[in-house]
Chain A
Amino acid sequence: MTWAGILVAAAACYGLKLAGLSLPPRWLEDARIQRTVPLIPVALLAALVTTQTFSTRQHLVLDVRAAAMAVAAIAVVLRAPFLVVVAAAAATAALLRAL
């Protein structure tokens, strides 16, 4: 199941890239498409942030991940590199669990 998902998702992502290079530009230069597509990553990434911080499967949960996210947010505001943001969040969770 995981393999099928990986292959289908990879094919879809490649297909989108190839479509951009190959389709007549005016198809994708429609004003509504140009306006909407850049908003999709913003909406999905924000939804991933909140759901993966505050839930376990279908349940809303408040645990060490919230503190890890707070630390990550501070790191982001300080313009820390990607790896530092992720490592700071992981270290916060590890530390709080060890206490």
Chain B
Amino acid sequence: MIRDALGIAVATGAYALSFGAIAATSGLSLLQTVALSALMFTGASQFALVGVIGSGGSVWAGVATAALLGSRNALYGVRLSTLLNVRGLRRVVGAHFVIDETTAMAIARNSEREARLAFWVTGIALFALWNLGTLIGAVATHALPDPKVLGLDAAPPAAFLALLAPRLRAREPLAIALASGVVALACLPFVPAGIPLLIVAVLIAALGFWRRPA
């Protein structure tokens, strides 16, 4: 289990390098980039915030998108709450580590004791390497005379695709992804940058709430 956790942490460190590079290319300072990884610590939301800022959208559209992407962590928290049974300071610290990878590692264990261990080991290792990777990626990119020469400004959509792909293993999410992509493009010329994302989020929430369960 510890080997698995370290494996995930190393992969996450590589993923953090690209976050650091993309954040630096999007116009965030080194301190802002590092602060984002330390304080937010949830990859998709971080990429979304810097992606929206980097493409000239309003910061607040980026904030809303980041928070909406973070909503899934609340459901992970529910699944983990009975498993971890954390209170007081442990809950305040542990909450920061409630993300895709720690949840997957914890719920795959056979006992509560192992689940707790998996959660904390994965969380701490990931947090360390996520921040280290971010720092290295950002410092290296800030050292470049022009990150555009390396095509880094074209990298964010590829990062979003790589984050999306593992969620498309069934027909329904695939259909929703295609529809969302098209709807966002269709309303793009008529609303300020960043707003198409929020339109798509509202539509999907309405669909989820009002449609009959299958």
Contacts and interface: CB of A to CB of B under 8 A. Distances in A.
- The interface residues of chain B, by DSSP majority, are classed as helix
Contacts of A65: 154, 157
Interface string B27-51: 1100010011001111011001101
A48 to B, nearest CB: 4
Given A50-B182, A72-B162, A21 B86 contact: yes
Interface size class of B (residues with CB under 8 A): 35 or more
Contacts of A22: 77, 81, 91, 95
A12 to B, nearest CB: 4
A59 to B, nearest CB: 7
Contact of A21 (B27, B68, B91, B160): B91
B91 to A, nearest CB: 6
Contacts of A97: 148, 151
A6 B35 contact: yes
Nearest to B59: A5
A5 B63 contact: yes
Interface in B151-204: 151-165, 167-168, 173, 176-178, 180-185, 188-189, 191-193, 196-197, 200-201, 203-204
B158 A20 contact: no
Interface in A1-25: 1-10, 12-14, 16-23, 25
Contacts, number: 306
B153 A93 contact: yes
Contacts of A2: 27-28, 32, 53, 59
B149 to A, nearest CB: 6
Contacts of B204: 36, 39-40, 42-43
B24 interface: no
B81 to A, nearest CB: 5
A64 B155 CA distance: 11
A52 B91 contact: no
Contact of B162 (A14, A43, A85): A85
B5 interface: no
B77 A17 contact: yes
Given A35-B208, A46-B177, A20 B49 contact: no
B53 A13 contact: no
Contacts of A13: 40-42, 45, 66-67, 70, 73
Contact of A36 (B18, B160, B161, B205): B205
Given A42-B168, A43-B204, A82-B162, 19 more contacts: A1-B59, A6-B36, A6-B49, A8-B63, A10-B36, A14-B39, A37-B74, A39-B173, A41-B44, A43-B176, A47-B196, A49-B157, A50-B184, A50-B185, A52-B156, A81-B11, A82-B15, A87-B18, A90-B155
10 contacts: A8-B63, A13-B66, A20-B75, A51-B185, A52-B51, A58-B188, A69-B158, A72-B161, A82-B11, A93-B151
